[in-house]
Amino acid sequence: MDTPLEAPALVPPARPRVSKAALVAAAAIAVLAVVEASVALVAPSRAPKDADWEAAAQAVRAGFAPGDLIVAAPAWADPIMRVHLGDLVAVEMAARFDDARFGRVWEIGQRGAHAPEARGTVALEQRFGALTLRRVERPAAKIAYDFQANWTNARVVRAAQGRPDVPCPWSGDRFQCPDIGFNFVHLQTVEVDFTLHRALLVQPVGGAEVVVEYAEVPLGRELVIATGIHDVWARKAGTGAVETRVTIAGTPAAAITTRNESGWQVTRVDTSKYDGRTVPVRFVVTSPAPFQRQFALAAEARR
């Protein structure tokens, strides 16, 4: 069955020749092999050591002032930074709205990386082994009103056309609307586009509006609103858009559409004409397809 067959060679076998191109390629691969092996052997020792982190952390502690921001670069090193300085990194700092309110940024960097938050004048730069500590200074945004810090002062209702508004009273740690378990407003850490932020979780409901109203907001020149869809699983399961209408002193000021792919969507509203005045600000949240719309809403009034 398996008879061996003789081979009448139609083409003579290739004979080895000294090819310059092959020699160059062989030399290049030999060099590559040496470089690759050397880098693999050396690379582990180039990583920052605990002592580097400790020394950098001590330097930060020596100069840290309330209101400063501490960041790691690249961002993936952030958990190690928090091991050493986590007591200075409150949840509000780690899950910040953005970096505008921070006038001084402590950046602990490695491998030449810089954090996007570390913009401004470099006031200090020090090496600690494989780490570089920089303190960057720049003008900070002045916050006239932090909607998250004052969220318990809000009034929450569920409103449906042709029906009286349904109040959502304070209940333990949230504003809970009646009859629908997920119809609440709660301040928490949200994950939007795989980044953590402090925001109000305001899940829209079918056939009604969820209204979050702040009666007395001292405004500055700008109202900055951030929206997004919280939770990777919700973004996977649901697809509906969430609409947010913002009214200031009863006047429509912005209409924001937020989708899964919107990320942490920042909308800026010019409030110059209200600068220095205290007025009501109202956020009205709806969705034509509210399934798994874990909607995150945050805002700051800036001078």
Partner 1 sequence: MSRLSARARDRLITALLAILTVSWLLAVEGRQGFGRDEGQYFRAGERYWGWFEELGENLAAGHPGLSFKPASLDRYWNDNAPDHPVVAKVLYGLSWRAFHHCTCTGPARGLHPIPIRGKHRTLPLFRRDSTAFRFPAMLFAALLVGMVYRFSRRFVSWPAAAAGAVLTLAQPHYFFHAQIACFDAPITTMAFAVGFAYWKALRSPKWGVLTGVVFGIALGTKHNAWLMPIFLTGHYLWMRRGDLLGRWFGQAARRRVPRVPLAFVAMILLGPPIFFAHWPWLWQAPLARARTYVKRHLEHEHYNFEYLGRNWNAPVTEASLKPLRMTAPFVETLFTVPVTTLALSLAGAVVLMRRRRGEPMGPDAEPEAPLAPEVDWRRPGADVDRAPGAFLAVQIFGPLCVIALPATPIFGGVKHFLPAMPYIAVAAAIGLDALARAVAAAVTRERLRRAAPVAFAALVCVPAVVETRRSHPDGLSHYNLLAGGFAGGASLGMNRQFWGYAVLPMLPWVNDSPNHGGMYWHDVISDALAMYKREGRLALDAGDTGYAQPGIERSQMGILFYEKHWTVYEGWIWDDYGTTRPVFVRDREGVPIVTAYERPPR
Q: Which is nearer to partner 1, 197 or 282 (CB)?
A: 197
**Which of residues 86 and 276 has its CB atom nearest to partner 1 in the complex?**
86
Strands (E), the chain: 69-73, 104-110, 121-128, 131-137, 143-146, 155-159, 166-167, 170-171, 174-176, 184-192, 195-202, 209-218, 222-229, 242-248, 251-258, 265-270, 278-286, 295-302
Which residues are at the interface with partner 1 (CB under 8 A)?
A: 1-2, 5-11, 13-19, 22-23, 25-26, 28-30, 32-37, 39-41, 43-44, 46-48, 74, 76-77, 79-80, 82-83, 86-87, 89-91, 94-95, 110-111, 113, 130, 188-191, 194-196, 230-233, 236, 261
Q: Taking the complex as a whole, how short is the minimal distance between the CB of residue 210 and partner 1, in angstroms?
A: 22
In angstroms, the CA 88 to CA 93 distance is 9
- Taking the least distance from each CB to partner 1, the nearer of 49 and 268 is 49
Judged by beta carbon, residue 32 or residue 215, the one nearer partner 1 is 32
Query: In whole angstroms, how far apart are CA 274 and each of 226, 249, 280?
Result: 20, 9, 11
Tokens for 221, please give them. Answer: 């020149």
Question: Is residue 189 within 8 Å of 135, Cβ to Cβ?
Answer: no
Name the minimum Å distance from CB 92 to partner 1. Answer: 10
Q: Which is nearer to partner 1, 14 or 65 (CB)?
A: 14
User: Least distance in Å: CB of 74 to partner 1?
Assistant: 5
**Least separation, in Å, of the C-beta of 41 and partner 1?**
6
Sign of the CA dihedral running 50, 53, 56, 59: negative
Q: How far is the CB of 172 from partner 1 (least distance, A)?
A: 14
